[in-house]
Structure 1
Protein backbone atom coordinates (compact mmCIF):
# COMPACT_ATOMS: atom_id res chain seq x y z
CA UNK A 1 0.00 0.00 0.00
CA UNK A 2 1.12 3.55 -0.73
CA UNK A 3 -0.56 6.83 0.21
CA UNK A 4 -2.81 6.70 -2.87
CA UNK A 5 -2.61 3.10 -4.09
CA UNK A 6 -3.16 -0.53 -3.23
CA UNK A 7 -0.89 -3.08 -4.92
CA UNK A 8 -1.94 -6.74 -4.98
CA UNK A 9 -1.68 -9.94 -6.97
CA UNK A 10 -4.46 -10.15 -9.58
CA UNK A 11 -7.37 -12.55 -9.19
CA UNK A 12 -10.04 -13.78 -11.59
CA UNK A 13 -12.21 -10.86 -10.42
CA UNK A 14 -9.75 -8.55 -12.21
CA UNK A 15 -10.28 -10.12 -15.65
CA UNK A 16 -12.42 -7.36 -17.14
CA UNK A 17 -10.37 -4.54 -15.62
CA UNK A 18 -7.15 -6.01 -16.99
CA UNK A 19 -8.75 -6.57 -20.40
CA UNK A 20 -9.77 -2.90 -20.47
CA UNK A 21 -6.24 -1.81 -19.51
CA UNK A 22 -4.33 -4.06 -21.92
CA UNK A 23 -6.99 -3.62 -24.60
CA UNK A 24 -6.47 0.16 -24.82
CA UNK A 25 -4.36 0.91 -27.92
CA UNK A 26 -3.14 4.24 -26.55
CA UNK A 27 -1.98 2.65 -23.29
CA UNK A 28 -0.31 -0.21 -25.17
CA UNK A 29 1.48 1.84 -27.85
CA UNK A 30 4.85 1.40 -26.08
CA UNK A 31 4.32 -2.15 -24.84
CA UNK A 32 6.02 -5.44 -25.70
CA UNK A 33 2.93 -7.26 -27.02
CA UNK A 34 -0.19 -6.39 -29.01
CA UNK A 35 -3.40 -5.18 -27.38
CA UNK A 36 -5.59 -7.81 -25.82
CA UNK A 37 -8.86 -8.58 -27.52
CA UNK A 38 -10.56 -11.23 -25.36
CA UNK A 39 -11.03 -12.14 -21.68
CA UNK A 40 -9.02 -15.34 -22.17
CA UNK A 41 -5.85 -13.28 -22.51
CA UNK A 42 -6.49 -11.60 -19.16
CA UNK A 43 -7.30 -14.93 -17.51
CA UNK A 44 -4.06 -16.43 -18.89
CA UNK A 45 -2.05 -13.48 -17.54
CA UNK A 46 -3.68 -13.85 -14.11
CA UNK A 47 -2.84 -17.57 -14.06
CA UNK A 48 0.74 -16.79 -15.14
CA UNK A 49 1.05 -14.18 -12.38
CA UNK A 50 -0.03 -16.70 -9.77
CA UNK A 51 2.31 -19.39 -11.14
CA UNK A 52 5.26 -16.97 -11.27
CA UNK A 53 4.59 -15.92 -7.68
CA UNK A 54 4.52 -19.55 -6.51
CA UNK A 55 7.81 -20.26 -8.35
CA UNK A 56 9.47 -17.07 -7.16
CA UNK A 57 10.16 -16.02 -10.76
CA UNK A 58 7.86 -13.01 -10.84
CA UNK A 59 5.73 -10.62 -8.84
CA UNK A 60 2.91 -9.27 -11.02
CA UNK A 61 0.64 -6.78 -9.27
CA UNK A 62 -2.37 -4.71 -10.13
CA UNK A 63 -2.48 -1.07 -9.08
CA UNK A 64 -5.74 0.08 -7.49
CA UNK A 65 -6.58 3.69 -6.73
CA UNK A 66 -7.50 4.21 -3.09
CA UNK A 67 -9.67 7.21 -4.03
CA UNK A 68 -12.05 5.35 -6.36
CA UNK A 69 -11.05 1.64 -6.14
CA UNK A 70 -10.44 1.73 -9.90
CA UNK A 71 -7.87 -0.46 -11.60
CA UNK A 72 -5.24 2.18 -12.28
CA UNK A 73 -2.64 -0.11 -13.85
CA UNK A 74 -0.23 -2.94 -13.32
CA UNK A 75 3.40 -3.32 -12.34
CA UNK A 76 5.74 -6.26 -12.08
CA UNK A 77 9.13 -7.59 -11.26
CA UNK A 78 9.61 -10.54 -13.60
CA UNK A 79 12.41 -12.75 -14.84
CA UNK A 80 13.64 -12.75 -11.24
CA UNK A 81 17.03 -14.46 -11.01
CA UNK A 82 17.86 -15.08 -7.34
CA UNK A 83 21.37 -16.35 -8.11
CA UNK A 84 22.25 -13.14 -9.97
CA UNK A 85 20.02 -11.01 -7.69
CA UNK A 86 18.36 -9.22 -10.61
CA UNK A 87 14.93 -8.80 -12.16
CA UNK A 88 13.13 -6.88 -14.87
CA UNK A 89 10.62 -4.11 -14.12
CA UNK A 90 7.43 -3.46 -16.05
CA UNK A 91 4.58 -1.03 -15.45
CA UNK A 92 1.49 0.24 -17.21
CA UNK A 93 -1.04 2.91 -16.21
CA UNK A 94 -4.64 3.38 -17.39
CA UNK A 95 -5.28 6.69 -19.18
CA UNK A 96 -7.57 8.22 -16.52
CA UNK A 97 -4.65 7.99 -14.08
CA UNK A 98 -1.93 9.55 -16.26
CA UNK A 99 -0.17 12.71 -15.12
CA UNK A 100 -0.79 12.27 -11.39
CA UNK A 101 2.50 10.68 -10.32
CA UNK A 102 0.84 7.32 -9.63
CA UNK A 103 3.24 5.28 -11.77
CA UNK A 104 6.15 6.64 -9.76
CA UNK A 105 4.37 5.91 -6.50
CA UNK A 106 3.67 2.30 -7.50
CA UNK A 107 7.12 1.68 -8.96
CA UNK A 108 8.87 3.13 -5.89
CA UNK A 109 6.97 0.67 -3.69
CA UNK A 110 7.80 -2.23 -6.00
CA UNK A 111 11.49 -1.25 -6.17
CA UNK A 112 11.66 -1.07 -2.38
CA UNK A 113 10.22 -4.58 -2.18
CA UNK A 114 12.67 -5.83 -4.82
CA UNK A 115 15.75 -4.36 -3.17
CA UNK A 116 14.75 -4.93 0.45
CA UNK A 117 12.60 -8.07 0.64
CA UNK A 118 13.94 -9.89 -2.42
CA UNK A 119 17.50 -8.63 -1.85
CA UNK A 120 17.98 -7.76 -5.51
CA UNK A 121 21.08 -5.84 -6.55
CA UNK A 122 20.01 -4.92 -10.10
CA UNK A 123 16.62 -4.09 -11.62
CA UNK A 124 16.33 -3.58 -15.37
CA UNK A 125 13.68 -1.96 -17.56
CA UNK A 126 13.30 -2.03 -21.34
CA UNK A 127 11.77 1.07 -22.95
CA UNK A 128 10.88 1.86 -26.55
CA UNK A 129 12.69 5.02 -27.70
CA UNK A 130 10.19 7.87 -27.74
CA UNK A 131 8.39 6.77 -24.58
CA UNK A 132 9.36 10.03 -22.90
CA UNK A 133 7.11 9.61 -19.86
CA UNK A 134 8.67 6.27 -19.01
CA UNK A 135 12.26 7.35 -19.54
CA UNK A 136 11.66 10.47 -17.44
CA UNK A 137 10.23 8.34 -14.63
CA UNK A 138 13.15 5.92 -14.74
CA UNK A 139 15.66 8.78 -14.69
CA UNK A 140 13.91 10.35 -11.66
CA UNK A 141 14.16 7.01 -9.88
CA UNK A 142 17.90 6.80 -10.50
CA UNK A 143 17.91 4.36 -13.43
CA UNK A 144 20.62 4.81 -16.06
CA UNK A 145 20.29 4.08 -19.75
CA UNK A 146 22.91 1.45 -20.56
CA UNK A 147 22.34 1.24 -24.31
CA UNK A 148 20.08 -0.06 -27.03
CA UNK A 149 18.95 -3.57 -27.84
CA UNK A 150 18.15 -3.80 -31.53
CA UNK A 151 15.10 -5.77 -32.65
CA UNK A 152 14.53 -6.86 -29.03
CA UNK A 153 10.73 -7.15 -29.26
CA UNK A 154 8.36 -8.30 -31.97
CA UNK A 155 4.96 -6.60 -31.82
CA UNK A 156 2.40 -7.20 -34.58
CA UNK A 157 5.19 -8.81 -36.65
CA UNK A 158 7.33 -5.68 -36.42
CA UNK A 159 10.82 -5.67 -34.88
CA UNK A 160 11.11 -3.08 -32.11
CA UNK A 161 14.34 -1.64 -30.69
CA UNK A 162 14.46 -0.85 -26.97
CA UNK A 163 16.67 1.03 -24.58
CA UNK A 164 17.97 -0.92 -21.61
CA UNK A 165 17.77 0.98 -18.32
CA UNK A 166 19.06 -0.35 -15.02
CA UNK A 167 19.11 0.61 -11.37
CA UNK A 168 21.62 -0.83 -8.92
CA UNK A 169 20.83 -0.97 -5.24
CA UNK A 170 23.46 1.63 -4.24
CA UNK A 171 22.21 4.06 -6.92
CA UNK A 172 18.56 4.09 -5.96
CA UNK A 173 16.78 7.38 -5.23
CA UNK A 174 14.39 7.98 -2.37
Structure 2
Protein backbone atom coordinates (compact mmCIF):
# COMPACT_ATOMS: atom_id res chain seq x y z
CA UNK A 1 0.00 0.00 0.00
CA UNK A 2 1.53 3.30 -1.05
CA UNK A 3 1.57 6.38 1.12
CA UNK A 4 -0.53 9.40 0.27
CA UNK A 5 -0.17 12.95 1.53
CA UNK A 6 -3.75 12.76 2.85
CA UNK A 7 -2.65 10.00 5.24
CA UNK A 8 0.00 12.19 6.92
CA UNK A 9 -0.24 11.66 10.71
CA UNK A 10 -0.88 14.62 13.01
CA UNK A 11 0.70 14.42 16.47
CA UNK A 12 -0.40 16.42 19.49
CA UNK A 13 1.34 17.12 22.78
CA UNK A 14 0.28 19.24 25.72
CA UNK A 15 1.14 22.49 23.91
CA UNK A 16 1.97 21.53 20.34
CA UNK A 17 0.49 20.19 17.13
CA UNK A 18 2.89 18.50 14.72
CA UNK A 19 1.47 18.44 11.21
CA UNK A 20 2.38 18.19 7.56
CA UNK A 21 4.22 21.21 6.18
CA UNK A 22 2.50 22.58 3.06
CA UNK A 23 3.37 25.12 0.38
CA UNK A 24 1.45 27.89 2.17
CA UNK A 25 3.90 27.45 5.09
CA UNK A 26 6.80 28.65 2.93
CA UNK A 27 6.86 32.21 4.38
CA UNK A 28 7.06 30.77 7.93
CA UNK A 29 9.90 28.45 6.95
CA UNK A 30 11.75 31.23 5.17
CA UNK A 31 11.45 33.37 8.30
CA UNK A 32 13.40 30.97 10.52
CA UNK A 33 15.51 29.17 7.89
CA UNK A 34 16.97 32.52 6.84
CA UNK A 35 18.36 33.03 10.39
CA UNK A 36 22.10 32.28 10.49
CA UNK A 37 21.86 31.09 14.10
CA UNK A 38 19.13 28.57 13.27
CA UNK A 39 21.05 27.38 10.19
CA UNK A 40 24.48 27.22 11.85
CA UNK A 41 24.37 23.41 12.14
CA UNK A 42 21.63 22.65 9.60
CA UNK A 43 23.97 21.67 6.78
CA UNK A 44 22.74 24.41 4.43
CA UNK A 45 23.38 28.12 4.06
CA UNK A 46 20.67 30.43 5.42
CA UNK A 47 17.81 30.72 2.94
CA UNK A 48 17.40 34.01 1.09
CA UNK A 49 14.33 33.45 -1.09
CA UNK A 50 10.93 31.79 -0.96
CA UNK A 51 11.87 29.20 -3.60
CA UNK A 52 14.40 27.68 -1.19
CA UNK A 53 11.63 27.22 1.38
CA UNK A 54 9.35 25.73 -1.30
CA UNK A 55 12.12 23.30 -2.29
CA UNK A 56 12.55 22.28 1.36
CA UNK A 57 8.80 21.63 1.62
CA UNK A 58 8.90 19.60 -1.59
CA UNK A 59 11.74 17.52 -0.11
CA UNK A 60 9.74 16.95 3.11
CA UNK A 61 6.83 15.67 1.03
CA UNK A 62 9.05 13.48 -1.16
CA UNK A 63 10.70 11.67 1.76
CA UNK A 64 7.26 10.92 3.15
CA UNK A 65 5.92 9.61 -0.16
CA UNK A 66 9.01 7.47 -0.85
CA UNK A 67 8.97 6.17 2.74
CA UNK A 68 12.52 7.28 3.60
CA UNK A 69 11.39 9.78 6.24
CA UNK A 70 8.72 12.04 7.66
CA UNK A 71 9.06 15.65 8.77
CA UNK A 72 6.45 17.38 10.91
CA UNK A 73 5.93 21.12 11.16
CA UNK A 74 5.83 22.28 14.77
CA UNK A 75 2.97 24.64 15.64
CA UNK A 76 1.28 25.82 18.82
CA UNK A 77 -2.04 24.02 19.25
CA UNK A 78 -4.01 27.26 19.10
CA UNK A 79 -2.06 28.66 16.13
CA UNK A 80 -1.22 27.35 12.68
CA UNK A 81 2.14 29.02 12.00
CA UNK A 82 5.05 26.59 11.62
CA UNK A 83 7.79 27.57 14.09
CA UNK A 84 10.13 24.64 13.44
CA UNK A 85 10.23 21.05 12.29
CA UNK A 86 11.18 17.65 13.58
CA UNK A 87 11.27 14.26 11.95
CA UNK A 88 13.02 11.30 10.43
CA UNK A 89 15.20 11.09 7.33
CA UNK A 90 17.49 8.56 5.67
CA UNK A 91 15.37 5.67 6.90
CA UNK A 92 16.51 2.13 6.21
CA UNK A 93 13.37 0.05 6.60
CA UNK A 94 15.03 -3.38 6.43
CA UNK A 95 17.16 -2.41 9.45
CA UNK A 96 14.37 -0.51 11.30
CA UNK A 97 16.75 2.46 11.52
CA UNK A 98 16.49 6.16 10.76
CA UNK A 99 18.15 9.51 11.44
CA UNK A 100 16.33 12.29 13.27
CA UNK A 101 16.57 16.01 12.62
CA UNK A 102 14.99 19.14 14.04
CA UNK A 103 15.21 22.91 14.09
CA UNK A 104 13.29 25.66 15.78
CA UNK A 105 12.83 29.36 15.22
CA UNK A 106 15.15 31.29 17.53
CA UNK A 107 12.13 33.16 18.93
CA UNK A 108 11.14 29.91 20.68
CA UNK A 109 14.48 28.63 21.97
CA UNK A 110 14.69 27.76 25.68
CA UNK A 111 10.97 26.99 26.13
CA UNK A 112 11.13 23.17 26.00
CA UNK A 113 9.45 23.07 22.59
CA UNK A 114 12.13 21.02 20.83
CA UNK A 115 12.12 18.54 23.71
CA UNK A 116 8.32 18.20 23.64
CA UNK A 117 8.28 17.71 19.86
CA UNK A 118 11.18 15.24 19.98
CA UNK A 119 9.39 13.00 22.47
CA UNK A 120 6.22 12.94 20.33
CA UNK A 121 8.21 12.07 17.21
CA UNK A 122 10.21 9.36 19.00
CA UNK A 123 7.02 7.83 20.42
CA UNK A 124 5.54 7.71 16.93
CA UNK A 125 8.72 6.21 15.50
CA UNK A 126 9.11 3.45 18.07
CA UNK A 127 5.40 2.63 18.43
CA UNK A 128 3.89 3.23 14.98
CA UNK A 129 6.84 2.81 12.62
CA UNK A 130 8.32 0.00 14.73
CA UNK A 131 11.80 1.51 14.64
CA UNK A 132 14.57 -0.20 16.56
CA UNK A 133 17.19 2.57 16.31
CA UNK A 134 17.05 6.35 15.89
CA UNK A 135 20.30 8.18 15.15
CA UNK A 136 21.23 11.84 15.55
CA UNK A 137 24.28 13.26 13.75
CA UNK A 138 25.46 16.38 15.57
CA UNK A 139 28.37 18.75 14.96
CA UNK A 140 30.66 18.90 18.03
CA UNK A 141 30.12 22.64 18.66
CA UNK A 142 26.31 22.16 18.78
CA UNK A 143 26.15 21.79 22.57
CA UNK A 144 22.41 22.54 22.86
CA UNK A 145 21.54 19.74 20.42
CA UNK A 146 23.79 17.29 22.29
CA UNK A 147 22.12 18.22 25.58
CA UNK A 148 18.67 17.75 24.00
CA UNK A 149 19.30 14.21 22.76
CA UNK A 150 21.24 13.16 25.88
CA UNK A 151 18.29 14.32 28.01
CA UNK A 152 16.14 11.79 26.13
CA UNK A 153 18.51 8.84 26.46
CA UNK A 154 20.60 9.03 23.30
CA UNK A 155 24.12 7.62 23.72
CA UNK A 156 27.13 9.12 21.96
CA UNK A 157 28.65 6.25 20.01
CA UNK A 158 31.55 7.96 18.30
CA UNK A 159 32.93 10.70 16.09
CA UNK A 160 32.51 10.51 12.33
CA UNK A 161 35.49 12.48 11.02
CA UNK A 162 35.01 14.71 7.95
CA UNK A 163 31.64 13.03 7.52
CA UNK A 164 29.77 15.85 5.80
CA UNK A 165 30.83 18.52 3.31
CA UNK A 166 28.79 21.69 3.76
CA UNK A 167 29.36 25.35 3.12
CA UNK A 168 32.83 24.77 1.66
CA UNK A 169 34.26 22.64 4.49
CA UNK A 170 34.21 19.16 5.91
CA UNK A 171 32.48 18.72 9.26
CA UNK A 172 32.97 16.10 11.93
CA UNK A 173 29.74 14.71 13.37
CA UNK A 174 29.04 12.87 16.59
CA UNK A 175 26.90 9.79 16.13
CA UNK A 176 24.23 9.51 18.82
CA UNK A 177 21.71 6.69 18.96
CA UNK A 178 18.63 5.72 20.91
CA UNK A 179 17.39 2.14 20.85
CA UNK A 180 13.74 1.22 21.31
CA UNK A 181 14.49 -0.72 24.51
CA UNK A 182 16.14 2.37 26.04
CA UNK A 183 13.33 4.80 25.21
CA UNK A 184 11.31 5.82 28.24
Match of residue 73 from structure 1: 84
The worse-fitting range, judged by mean Cα deviation, of 67-76 and 139-148 is: 67-76
Q: Which runs of 5+ in 2 are unaligned?
A: 1-11
Match of residue 73 from structure 2: 62
Counterparts of 1:100-139 in structure 2, within 5 Å, are 100-139=111-150
Q: Which runs of 5+ in 1 are unaligned?
A: none
- Alignment equivalent of 1:140, drawn from 129, 136, 151: 151
Structure 2 contact 43–167 (Cα < 8 Å) conserved: no
**Aligned-pair CA distance for 1:9:** 1.2
**Aligned-pair CA distance for 1:155:** 2.0
1:48 equivalenced with 2:65 (yes/no): no
* Cα deviation digits, residues 135-157 of structure 1 (max 9, x gap): 11111100000011111122210
TM-score (norm 1): 0.95
Counterparts of 1:7-22 in structure 2, within 5 Å, are 7-22=18-33
- Partner-residue secondary structure (3-state), 1:99: coil
Structure 2 contact 88–100 (Cα < 8 Å) conserved: yes
Aligned-pair RMSD on alpha carbons?
1.2
